[in-house]
Structure 1
Amino acid sequence: MTKVTVWNENRHEKKNPVVSEIYPKGIHGAIAEFLEQDNLEVRTATLDEPEHGLSEDVLNNTDVLVWWGHIAHEEVSDEVVERVRQRVLDGMGLVVLHSGHFSKIFKKLMGTSCDLKWREADEKERIWVVNPAHPIVDGVGEFFELEKEEMYGEHFDIPAPDELVLVSWFEGGEVFRSGCTYIRGNGKVFYFRPGHETYPTYYNDNVQRIITNAVNWAKPIDRARPVYGNAKPLEEIGN
């Protein structure tokens, strides 16, 4: 059974009654709840736990890490970020949600600023499937709409995705690369845009399906990391 850890800084839920009303069990709790329905073994972790809930033991027993952060990126320990990075390189999957684009771990894996345009104006978001054969969008139609969301707009300062799966259009006219995959070392990374904390986005059936599919796509394959450095020849080298 695939082991999933859902990480959330869990700060908006404590500070904003609107968020706590929408997500009474926290954003991490809402995500864990629908993932558990897909025969996945799910645990949660939050920022204020010791080691942010991401000890070596937890990460070594995590196949896929789901990450939600927003207002406390800088509070995440560099030591824990490096621990997560090494696990991704070793093969652990990483699914980064919404404002996690600005998390230390995503920026470290991308090597760019990961900056973008944004606006909170209760806009409709239309999310288009641009890679219909990709397993992350299995069961999702040509497009779906979220009645209200925060706008993210291009330019999104990320490396060109290995695969572009989803593109968003917003009522104000902007577009955004909202579903992007990457390979880092042996690990698979998926960035998925929707999920502003004051909207019930994580109760949307299509959003739940995409995150569930992404977890199943990102789970590790049974393969050791390549061996690097000085290598002996496989064949005898003639003079």
Structure 2
Amino acid sequence: MGAALHLAHAGHALPADTNRTKGKGSGGGETFADFARQVYNDQRATPKAREMLLAFGYATMVAHSEEAREANAVWATARNAMGTTRTGRHWRLDEAIAEDVPRYASGKERAHRVCVAPRLRPHPDGAHDFRNQLGICGTHADWEHHAVEKQAGTGWFKFHWFCRRHLDHLARVREQLREPNSRAPEPIPNKGGLLSVYFEADWLSMYRRWLGSPDWQPPVYGISADDWPIPGVEKVPPRARLRLAAIDGTLLVEVPEGPR
């Protein structure tokens, strides 16, 4: 990516010589179109995350690229670009930032809760029925009747569901998993972490502010999604990032000079 952009404390105007970007045809470097192409090609981004990244990119690379930029102007531009929720009570940008907090989401889907206890006799629906093919009970399981298996390499959760008739199986599986689960690593994050891919900032302080938790700690794998290992997938090469600094949740833009 091209010019580094700095977002800092509100009300602090920038020196005139830091007031350039590589958008709006200013010559060389990355344009907003280049930035948008990277964002849209990032398969990790949800639709809302893409909106958020593009809103920040627009506010810093296009909307305020030729005049002195103050925090309130940039922040307002990004927020207005995404707008409010349907009720008009919350800014969608704020929600998107909160959703970008790095974390592991287990994917505990309600739609696939079927009992995996061994089937003792064939189901009358025939050989092609999934219960006969998998050799499982297949009865719908209640939400609380599951055992969690933590994968040895990733720490990711695998859920084993049981119906009320097979709670004895559930108890045995939970006991069998107790010791290996204790040795499993912290789950590799699979949600969020995209702001730090595209922008440099004190994201630890920012996420703590958005969560309202001064003691929040990032995953051991890091805050940036680019740093999270995915088994069987080649690591994303490091990329240059727009540089943001956030203090008290307000933003100011700066484009420092130097090699690109």
TM-score range (shorter-chain normalised) is under 0.3
Higher normalized contact order (CA 8 Å, seq sep 6+, divided by chain length): 2
Q: Name the structure where strand makes up a greater proportion of residues.
A: 1
TM-score when normalising by structure 2: 0.23
TM-score when normalising by structure 1: 0.24
Q: Which protein is bigger by CA-based radius of gyration?
A: 2
